Chain A
């Protein structure tokens, strides 16, 4: 079976290469049959990648340890779902998943847009093929998932921390996000190569960009949830390079999703958009390079890996190609309209973009700083959470405020008086919330108080927008308030879906501010009967219990919890000891208070034994106010994205009219 897997990868590599060579020649010479065959080669590359993936999945299913990769990442006792998710538990499998998603998404994007962008598409296919060729090359020549060996009696197992439901979906979503950003990049490159850099490529790829961005955003949140529940240190984001690697392209894509609206509406920011889309793509590859190369200390990577140099070469190639393309087409990209006023919707988008890009660059700077300082000073210097947290406040708080102001400002220009009238009610709501919070004692953290107040402002602005729109539709004759509201959203899904996403960001901001600025932590040694009081909770350690499971032993501290005398139940915090992997993992206990969105978080930090029985236990207890709003934000974010992505027949007709083939502006 390994031979079949290897052959499928070689075939995928060959087909992807053909889509580059044949596609470029076909696009340049305008030979339709050659263009069509390059397109078909891309589809076939997806088929070949799928065959390779099926071979590997089957090897995991049958625990075929003659596959070295299967032996390294699974074991006989690995439970059912994880034996499949072990597919992406290591580097070679991750790259195969990457290739599979890339060729699949590329095929779908090309197939769906075959008629929409007849001039751009012939140049898009070779770009997609080039990215696919790179990943296929790595799998064929550098890190193969089909390396063979004499089958050992059992495999090494899967890292216990990866044996978690969130890890079944978090990595594929991140890959979907990373890889999905290739689609707008390839279409933008195709538009530049073909000389048709109007808004058609944006229209053609809008949904693909939103899909990738949503997948990346949800993937990041699921990773945070996994860290919160599985890693067991009580946090959810540690500014680790691997986490930042996903955050950077997401921030760049967020900026891009806003700025393309300005290009669509006002035909401005064309160079900026081309740069952003190329930047988002390069950042997704750069993040991979950082985490895979082992050059940066991260919780996820450590040892030097041979693929780092390959990624570095590919980033250099992609960045050079993008820069050269943009410079070559600069005359074509010049804006035909100018910013009329600094108080306008387009200006608000610009400010939003500057803040987002500045924050992206800050994170990039922080991640790359050890490499740069080592190159310049001969000593790697790292920046830690204080650096990132500082800039999160510097750029994040104004972004929250802009999120409220932006939608209220008119296109072209707004007078300061009109602006004042528009933001009056959100400002009143924000000040009222701020005053109430100070009275309640939230003034202990200035950034936390500002985050709450600005969030209230943004949320009030969103509610106001929905209220105004609904009232207008009711006045125009909608039979009920509900039909006015649903009609409002249905007729402008992109705009109101976007507002729902803004509401998600507000929830996220409140959750982050609450859990980080107003939390409490205690560590205590317990013997049976000992108690701890924290923020109104009383925890009593009862005893410790052991349980034997199929692939691990469990040790748990039983802790009775009351709040203001009211029993809340028993929490079980402790550790698992995995046999095959020879590792232990923290298994935290969390008591959710859904009404207050608060968690009581208990970590079984250390167990003390006397005569093979637990004599005492160290428990670390955290109270995390509002933390559950972060996870709620994920659902709201998804809802907003789904509203935005939901097919709209009227919009489709508008798009079809806009994407009718027109005159070519410049030809290569």
Chain B
């Protein structure tokens, strides 16, 4: 009975995450090609960071892959809202938003905690 119940619960998770969970592709900037709609993108914030997150044009910056590969791929990001702590050029961020084929309109930006768990040295 226990095994059956757990199996049933697992099946619900599978169905939910497959069909109704609103799962979001988690991508690097270099993997965005071919995608549309809601995505989450992890990237390295390139200088310059321009604009104002509270203005109509928003905060504007570019992301590239964190691992340093595909240095030529830069995706523009526009963000309206509250700029997170520690956000600036050179930081690793995690952006969620809509990708229209050329730029990401971000609804949230999470700046990574840089020292809690030591990152690998570059």
Binding site for B on A (CB under 8 A): 72-73, 89-92, 94, 156, 158-159, 161-162, 231-233, 272, 291-292, 294, 297, 299-306, 350, 353-354, 357-358, 361-362, 365-366, 369-370, 373, 379-384, 386-387, 390-391, 523, 525, 583-586, 603, 605-606, 618, 620
List which B24-53 residues lie within 8 A (CB) of chain A. Answer: 24-27, 31, 40, 42, 52-53
Known contacts A379-B27, A384-B24, A606-B53; decide if A620 and B114 are in contact (CB<8 Å).
Answer: no
**Interface status of B9 (Cβ within 8 A of chain A):** yes
Q: A585 to B114, alpha carbons, bound, how many Å?
A: 13
A-chain residues with CB within 8 Å of residue B25 when the two chains form the complex: 379-382
A580 to chain B, nearest CB (A): 12
| A300 & B86 in contact (Cβ 8 Å cutoff) | no
| B117 & A291 in contact (Cβ 8 Å cutoff) | yes
Report the interface size class on chain B: 35 or more
28 A-B pairs with CB atoms under 8 Å apart are A90-B117, A159-B113, A162-B115, A300-B116, A302-B42, A302-B119, A305-B117, A354-B2, A354-B6, A354-B9, A361-B13, A362-B13, A365-B10, A380-B26, A386-B22, A387-B21, A390-B21, A391-B16, A523-B54, A523-B81, A583-B85, A583-B86, A585-B86, A586-B85, A605-B54, A606-B53, A606-B54, A618-B54
Contact with A along B107-122 (1 / 0, CB 8 A): 0001111111111100
**Interface status of B96 (Cβ within 8 A of chain A):** yes
- Knowing that A156-B115, A605-B83 touch, tell me 6 more A-B residue pairs with CB under 8 angstroms: A72-B115, A300-B117, A301-B112, A350-B2, A354-B6, A383-B23
Q: Which of B24, B86, B94, B118 has the largest number of chain A CB atoms within 10 A?
A: B118
Q: A246 to B52, alpha carbons, bound, how many Å?
A: 36
The residue of chain A having its C-beta at the shortest distance from the C-beta of B116 within the complex is A300
Known contacts A390-B16, A584-B85; decide if A299 and B113 are in contact (CB<8 Å).
Answer: yes
Known contacts A358-B9, A606-B53; decide if A300 and B113 are in contact (CB<8 Å).
Answer: yes
B-chain residues with CB within 8 Å of residue A294 when the two chains form the complex: 119-120
| A585 & B85 in contact (Cβ 8 Å cutoff) | yes
Q: A158 to B118, alpha carbons, bound, how many Å?
A: 11
Known contacts A361-B9, A382-B40; decide if A297 and B94 are in contact (CB<8 Å).
Answer: yes
| B27 & A365 in contact (Cβ 8 Å cutoff) | no
**Interface status of B102 (Cβ within 8 A of chain A):** no
Known contacts A231-B85, A303-B120, A606-B83; decide if A297 and B2 are in contact (CB<8 Å).
Answer: no
Known contacts A302-B66, A583-B86; decide if A89 and B115 are in contact (CB<8 Å).
Answer: yes
Q: A584 to B6, alpha carbons, bound, how many Å?
A: 46
Q: Which of B17, B24, B85, B120 has the largest number of chain A CB atoms within 10 A?
A: B85
**Interface status of B101 (Cβ within 8 A of chain A):** no
| A302 & B17 in contact (Cβ 8 Å cutoff) | no
Binding site for A on B (CB under 8 A): 2, 5-6, 9-10, 13, 16-17, 21-27, 31, 40, 42, 52-54, 66, 81-86, 92, 94, 96, 110-120
| B82 & A297 in contact (Cβ 8 Å cutoff) | no
Question: Which 3 residue pairs are nearest across A and B when measured between Cβ atoms?
Answer: A303-B119, A358-B9, A380-B26
**How many Cβ-Cβ contacts under 8 Å join chain A to chain B?**
146
B-chain residues with CB within 8 Å of residue A291 when the two chains form the complex: 117
Q: A294 to B111, alpha carbons, bound, how many Å?
A: 15
Could you say which of A72, A297, A586 contacts B42, with CB atoms under 8 Å apart? A297
Known contacts A159-B114, A383-B21, A605-B83; decide if A361 and B16 are in contact (CB<8 Å).
Answer: no
| B23 & A381 in contact (Cβ 8 Å cutoff) | yes
| A232 & B120 in contact (Cβ 8 Å cutoff) | no
| A387 & B23 in contact (Cβ 8 Å cutoff) | yes
| B13 & A72 in contact (Cβ 8 Å cutoff) | no
The residue of chain B having its C-beta at the shortest distance from the C-beta of A380 within the complex is B26
A579 to chain B, nearest CB (A): 15
A-chain residues with CB within 8 Å of residue B21 when the two chains form the complex: 383, 386-387, 390
| B66 & A361 in contact (Cβ 8 Å cutoff) | no
B-chain residues with CB within 8 Å of residue A357 when the two chains form the complex: 6, 9
| B6 & A232 in contact (Cβ 8 Å cutoff) | no
| B13 & A365 in contact (Cβ 8 Å cutoff) | yes
| A72 & B118 in contact (Cβ 8 Å cutoff) | yes
B-chain residues with CB within 8 Å of residue A231 when the two chains form the complex: 85
The residue of chain A having its C-beta at the shortest distance from the C-beta of B52 within the complex is A606
Known contacts A303-B119, A354-B5; decide if A233 and B23 are in contact (CB<8 Å).
Answer: no
| B9 & A158 in contact (Cβ 8 Å cutoff) | no
